[in-house]
Amino acid sequence: MSRMHSGGKGKSGSSRPHSSEAPAWSTGDKAEIEELIVNLANEGHSTAMIGTILRDRHAVPNVRLVTGERVSETLARNGISGRYPEDLMNLMRKALNLMDHLSSNPKDLHNRRQLALCESKIRRLSRYYIGTGRLSQDWIYKQDQLRLMVE
């Protein structure tokens, strides 16, 4: 979804091998990993960072293979999920940083365009989340209220 405004012609890079169960070398009990996820979320880590920490420090290659659900689903089940989806929040933070930059550098035309592209992504992603029910039907992106929405 985010590749729309880039100049690239495709998607390169490696992909994760297909597997339906956790590898034998992976040490992890479902309850133990769920407890780690909740503790890391309470420390203030994002879902992507939680997955990286579990991979690097606790030898959990894929949380979904061990627990049967995504990190965000585990957090939602435990009542810890944020008000907005993580990818939408990251885009709103990026837009806020660009607005702060443009307030002190009003002639920076390249970043003015990047702000327009970022806001376009926010609007498209919000339409998707409104359609799936993760955002309320009356939610609207407003540039002047962005600072209040970003947590």
What is the band of 24 on the pLDDT scale with cuts at 50, 70, 90? confident
C-alpha 117/C-alpha 98 separation (Å) is 11
**Rounded-to-integer distance, Cα 81 and Cα 85, Å:** 8
Output the pLDDT for position 151: 64
Report, as an integer, the average pLDDT of 93-99. 96
Q: What is the mean pLDDT of the chain?
A: 89
pLDDT digits (tens, 9 = 90+) for 50-65: 999 999 998 888 899 8
* Per-residue burial over 103-119, b = 16 or more CB atoms within 10 Å of its CB, e = otherwise: eeeeeeeebeebbeebb
